[in-house]
Homo-oligomer: A and B are copies of this chain.
Amino acid sequence: MLPTASTRQPATGGSVSLAAQFMATRQLLETLLEPLSEADATIQSMDDASPAKWHAAHTTWFWETFLLRDRAPEYRLFNEDFPFLFNSYYEAEGDRLLRRNRGLVTRPTLADVLEWRAHVNEAMLPLLDDPAHADLVTLGIAHEQQHIELLLTDIKHALSKNPIGPAMWNTPQVAKPQQEDGWISHPGGIARIGHQSDGFAFDNEGPVHRALLEPFALSRRLVTNGEWDAFIADGGYEDHRLWLSDAWAWLDRCNIRKPLYWHDGEQFTHCGWQERDPDAPVTHISYYEADAFASWAGARLPTEFEWEAIARGQDTPDSDAAFNASAGNQLDHAAPPQPVGTSELFGDCWQFTRSAYLPYPRFAPAEGAVGEYNGKFMAGQWVLKGASCATVRGHSRASYRNFFYPQQRWQFTGLRLAKDL
Contact = CB atoms under 8 A, between A and B. Distances in A.
Interface of A: 37-43, 45, 81, 84-85, 89, 91-92, 97, 101, 103-110, 158-159, 161-164, 166, 190, 209-212, 214, 240-241, 243-248, 287-288, 291, 354-356, 358-359, 361-362, 371, 376-380, 406, 420
Nearest to A166: B107
A89 B246 CA distance: 12
A115 B212 CA distance: 53
Contacts of A356: 356, 358
B89 A43 contact: no
Contacts of A245: 89, 376-377, 379
Contact of A361 (B39, B91, B243, B420): B420
Contacts of A359: 354
Most B C-beta atoms less than 10 A away, residue of A45, A89, A105, A371: A105
A40 B106 contact: yes
In order of increasing CB-CB distance, the 9 nearest A-B pairs are A356-B356, A39-B42, A38-B38, A91-B240, A39-B106, A107-B166, A212-B212, A245-B376, A104-B161
A106 B103 CA distance: 12
Contact of A244 (B92, B161, B241, B376): B376
27 contacts: A38-B38, A39-B39, A39-B110, A40-B106, A42-B43, A92-B240, A92-B241, A97-B163, A104-B158, A104-B162, A106-B166, A107-B164, A211-B212, A214-B361, A214-B362, A241-B371, A244-B377, A245-B376, A245-B377, A246-B380, A248-B376, A288-B379, A291-B379, A354-B358, A354-B359, A356-B356, A380-B406
A224 B162 CA distance: 44
Contact of A163 (B84, B161, B247, B371): B84
A302 to B, nearest CB: 11
A81 B163 contact: yes
Nearest to A368: B241
Given A243-B376, A362-B214, A420-B361, A81 B164 contact: yes
Contacts of A190: 212
Contact of A109 (B37, B91, B214, B362): B37
A378 B243 CA distance: 10
Nearest to A357: B356
Given A38-B37, A45-B104, A248 B109 contact: no
Contacts of A210: 212, 214
Contacts of A406: 379-380
Nearest to A106: B39
Contacts of A103: 43, 103
Contacts of A39: 38-39, 41-43, 106, 109-110
Given A43-B43, A107-B164, 17 more contacts: A37-B107, A38-B39, A39-B41, A43-B103, A43-B106, A92-B240, A104-B158, A210-B214, A214-B361, A244-B378, A245-B377, A247-B379, A248-B376, A287-B379, A355-B358, A356-B358, A380-B406
